[in-house]
């Protein structure tokens, strides 16, 4: 249930967000549906979202996103 609330909160756009930003946020959530947060962060990074945007969509902090990206680099 907490995940459901977190996703719902993440979908709510910031005040003054453009229609394109709202659509991009919804499509991003569809693209990562069912993925673990770390995998979702990496996929959204690959799509071109910033760490700040990814953190807002996944309801994690920006450092979590940076660590996920660093771990990916370390594996390769």
DSSP per-residue string spanning 19-73 = HHHHHHHHHHHHHTTTS-HHHHHHHHHHHT--HHHHHHHHT--HHHHHHHHHHHH
What is the number of structural domains in the chain? 1
Q: What is the pLDDT of residue 8?
A: 46
Each of the 76 residues of the chain gets a pLDDT tens digit; together they read 445 444 444 545 566 778 998 899 999 999 999 999 999 999 999 999 999 999 999 999 999 999 999 998 877 6
Q: Which domain holds residue 14?
A: 2-75
Give the predicted TM-score (pTM) of the model.
0.71
pLDDT (0 to 100) of residue 43 = 95
Q: Which residue has the tokens 């700040």?
A: 52
CA distances in angstroms from 55 to 8, 61, 75, listed in the order given: 14, 5, 22
| 4 vs 65: CA distance, rounded Å | 20
């Amino acid at each position: 249930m907490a995940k459901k609330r977190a996703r719902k909160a993440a979908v709510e756009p910031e005040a003054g967000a453009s229609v394109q930003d709202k659509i991009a946020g919804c499509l991003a959530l569809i693209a990562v549906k069912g993925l673990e947060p770390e995998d979702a962060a990496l996929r959204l990074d690959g799509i071109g979202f910033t760490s700040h945007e990814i953190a807002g969509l996944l309801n994690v902090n920006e450092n979590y996103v940076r660590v996920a990206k660093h771990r990916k680099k370390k594996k390769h």
